[in-house]
């Protein structure tokens, strides 16, 4: 234990700065990144959970520097914290997004930053880079940490919760909870953009909780990063026909950490297997460019043309272990005209997909 730490908490919940520094060095060697954030995290609420998931998504592991009880008292007054640092640490440790917790007793987190040397420092959106404490800012610059300001969930805070309890008021939600969507894609990402478009114009009450791609330079992952969404590349390995077990597991962990309600395979050219299938049973949607059950599998558009079909289309369906075989949720057809190329027909199909996919998700929110 270093001198900034309290020692009465079970060792399983609180790590020493040295232990976290070791984790940081291991990640560094593997070309991975440690994210660091700090706060009181008293009376955990959904805003905290989402903030921590967002912070974790910036790198490969997350350490939370937790204000000690004395420093919470100093910051928030004598009636705080509600929960002791031992309990706050234990509760945080239960979150999938949190990999390690340190407790700091000083008013500033400077010393821990210097000891741990995180790659990324995350802070909630009530700060700007300019308004960070100058001492902490100098320590971050010194250790070369990137600074990321994350948006906070409006209306959620421990102080607000306590005020409500004191006033004897129940929590009310003006709007139903947003559907949390995880999108997997390998290509251009036009269907992902269609979902975003519907969210942005208010016609779909949802949020994109994470985007996953098997290509680190795909259109979809580039667009997601640009939009500031949690975006993850999952390395598929060298065999183009196989998406190995380790990758399946990684996909599942990202989806679980982002707490998604529904998974959309929007041009994801890999077969999704367990543990994702079991974990998200009946909650995975695939967009396939044919009128299923016709033309399952790859090259569906070209095969429809080659077979002399006069029309083809798109199918949105639930995903099961059998490829392109789950319950159909929606379909739309497009004509195939003489002289059409696969590209032309596919463009026609995508137009229908961009209309149909937000519609299916909208129906999902109404369920």
| Residues within the interface to ligand GAR (CB under 6 A) | 185, 187-191, 220, 266-267, 287-289, 314, 349-350, 353
Side by side, which strands form the sheet with 120-124?
Answer: 100-104, 61-67, 34-39, 120-124, 146-150
Nearer to ligand GAR, 145 or 260 (CB): 260
User: In this complex, which beta carbon is closest to ligand GAR, that of residue 111 or of residue 303?
Assistant: 303
- Sequence-distant contacts of 305-312: CB under 8 A, at least 24 apart: 305/336, 305/340, 305/341, 305/342, 305/345, 309/336, 310/335, 310/336, 311/335, 311/336, 312/336, 312/345, 312/349
Q: Cβ distance 104 to 66 under 8 Å? A: yes
**Smallest separation (angstroms) from ligand GAR to the CB of 87:** 45
**Closest distance between ligand GAR and the C-beta of residue 207, in Å?**
19
Whose Cβ is closer to ligand GAR: residue 38's or residue 314's? 314
- Residue 356: name the closest of 327, 330, 317 by CA: 330
The residue sitting closest to ligand GAR, measured at its beta carbon, is 267
Question: From CA 12, how far away is CA 92, in angstroms rounded?
Answer: 12
Residue 354 CB, shortest distance to ligand GAR, in Å, is 8
**Separation of first and last alpha carbons in the chain:** 51
Looking at the Cβ atoms of 14 and 264, the one nearer to ligand GAR is: 264
Q: How far is the CB of 245 from ligand GAR (least distance, A)?
A: 21
Which 3 state secondary structure label does DSSP give 166?
Answer: helix
**70 versus 188: smaller Cβ distance to ligand GAR:** 188
């Amino acid at each position: 234990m270093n001198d900034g730490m309290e020692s009465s908490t079970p060792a399983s919940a609180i790590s020493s700065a040295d232990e976290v520094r070791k984790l940081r060095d291991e990640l560094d060697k593997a070309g991975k990144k440690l994210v660091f954030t700090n706060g009181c995290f008293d009376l955990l609420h959904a805003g905290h959970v989402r903030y921590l998931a967002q912070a974790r998504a910036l790198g490969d592991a997350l350490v939370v520097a937790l204000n000690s009880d004395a420093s919470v008292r100093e910051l928030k007054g004598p009636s705080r914290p509600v929960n002791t640092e031992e309990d706050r640490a234990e509760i945080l440790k239960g979150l999938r997004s949190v990999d390690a917790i340190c407790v700091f007793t000083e008013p500033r987190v400077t010393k821990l930053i210097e000891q741990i040397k995180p790659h990324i420092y995350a802070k909630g959106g009530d700060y700007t880079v300019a308004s960070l404490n100058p001492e902490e800012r100098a320590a971050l610059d010194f250790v070369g940490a990137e600074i990321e300001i994350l948006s906070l969930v409006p209306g959620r805070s421990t102080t607000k919760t306590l005020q409500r309890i004191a006033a004897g008021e129940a929590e009310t939600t003006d709007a139903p909870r947003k559907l949390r969507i995880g999108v997997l894609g390998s290509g251009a990402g036009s269907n992902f953009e269609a979902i975003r478009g519907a969210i942005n114009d208010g016609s779909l009450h949802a949020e994109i909780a994470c985007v996953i791609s098997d290509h680190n330079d795909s259109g979809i992952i580039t667009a997601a990063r640009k939009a500031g969404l949690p975006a993850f590349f999952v390395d598929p390995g060298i065999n183009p026909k196989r998406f190995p077990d380790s990758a399946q597991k990684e996909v599942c962990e990202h989806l679980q950490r982002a707490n998604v309600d529904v998974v959309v395979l929007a041009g994801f050219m890999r077969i999704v297997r367990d543990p994702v299938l079991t974990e998200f049973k009946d909650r995975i949607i695939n967009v396939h460019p044919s009128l299923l059950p016709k033309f399952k599998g790859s090259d569906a558009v070209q095969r429809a043309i080659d077979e002399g079909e006069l029309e083809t289309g798109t199918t949105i369906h639930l995903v099961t272990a059998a490829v392109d075989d789950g319950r159909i949720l929606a379909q739309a057809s497009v004509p195939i005209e003489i002289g059409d190329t696969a590209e032309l027909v596919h463009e026609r199909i995508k137009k229908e997909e961009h209309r149909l996919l937000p519609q299916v998700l909208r129906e999902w929110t109404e369920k």
